[in-house]
Amino acid sequence: MPTLAEAPTRATVVLDGGLGTLLEAHGHDLTSHLWTARLLRDDPVAVRRAHEAYFAAGARVAISGSYQVSYEGLAAVGVERAEVDGLLARSVEIAREARAASGLGPGEAWVAASVGPYGAARADGSEYTGDYGMTVAELRAWHRPRLAALAAAGADVLAVETIPSLAEVEAICAELTDLDVPAWVSLTIADDGALRTGESLSEAAGIAESLPQLVAVGLNCCDPRGVEAALGVLAGATGAPLLVYPNSGEAWRAEERRWSGAGRGRGLADDAAAWRDAGARGIGGCCRVGPDEIRAIAGALG
């Protein structure tokens, strides 16, 4: 039974697409500060069905709905700490249920527990700037309890994703060294190929590579037009397997909480083979990328 760490050495693994945006497409209102956490609590069947849709489309990795779940964020709307622990564990359990319902076993498909950045919990779009005004020590303290809870939840891997700054990469990797669980680290970049803070993508990959349990280094929640060049940077900075799961190409307007633009006129599947040839061993999508696009990616990768 191959682990997720072994899978990219055998073939390119198809990741899922955007969970939150698929739930919105299914008619669910995610505009509150609870975001997907509301459905984890109030309508877990909807979350499970979204995961199942991605498995049916050919995805072999389901990323849990824990991206924006945080103790501080949910405390602000009256959710007790113990309930947050339960929601984090439930996010992984739901993805595992979806895998089983899809007829896939642990060696055929994998569950990744989403660890979003500090900015995602603020729900103000600051993960697209990395401008938190926090030290590495403060970020470590903020991430520590959530990382521990997700590490104990039984996922195959922690999906550390949409990380916009060197400080946050350093903080999370420092905390992960005390946890015996595989992890990938996925970074988010601006249009110029640097981190959202303007810092070095190569340096961030180097920090991630120091993790003994590292499964892969990746890019996500970014414009697909910059992916191929960024893969070249990552390949030069790390020997770890590479992942890519960019957005559709539309732009997020944080102040209006909406997407704008018509994308780029081509799907991610049109570039999937080129990304594989550039070194990507896991390919999927992030915001505004749904099951149809994942099905096309799976087809393009054969």
The tens digit of pLDDT for each residue in 85-140 reads 999 999 999 999 999 999 999 999 999 999 999 999 887 889 999 999 999 999 99
- Per-residue model confidence (pLDDT) at position 9: 60
**Domain for residue 197, yes or no?**
yes
Distances 294 to 14, 54, 59 between C-alpha atoms, Å: 8, 7, 7
**Consecutive H or E run containing 283:** strand 280-283
**Domain for residue 27, yes or no?**
yes
Report d(CA 52, CA 12) in Å as an integer. Answer: 20
- Per-residue model confidence (pLDDT) at position 133: 93
The number of domains in the chain is 1
**Domain for residue 294, yes or no?**
yes
Q: Are 86 and 69 in contact (CB under 8 A)?
A: no
CATH number for position 99? 3.20.20.330
**Domain for residue 166, yes or no?**
yes
Domain span including residue 44 = 7-301
Residues facing 218 on adjacent strands: 186, 243
pLDDT tens, residue by residue, 251-270: 655 554 555 555 555 799 99
φ, ψ of residue 155 in degrees (nearest 5) = -70, 160
**Domain for residue 2, yes or no?**
no
What DSSP letter does each residue of 160-218 carry, written as one string? EEEE--HHHHHHHHHHHTTS-S-EEEEE-B-TTSSBTTS--HHHHHHHHHT-TTEEEEE
Full-model pTM = 0.94
- Per-residue model confidence (pLDDT) at position 208: 98
Q: Distance of alpha carbon 276 from its chain centroid, rounded?
A: 19
**Which residue stretches of the chain have pLDDT < 70?**
1-2, 8-10, 33, 250-265
What residues have CB less than 8 Å from 155, skipping those under 6 apart? 64, 92, 95, 111, 112, 113, 181
**Domain for residue 230, yes or no?**
yes
**Domain for residue 270, yes or no?**
yes
- Per-residue model confidence (pLDDT) at position 1: 47
Q: How many helices (H) and strands (E) does the chain have?
A: 12, 10
Report d(CA 137, CA 139) in Å as an integer. Answer: 5
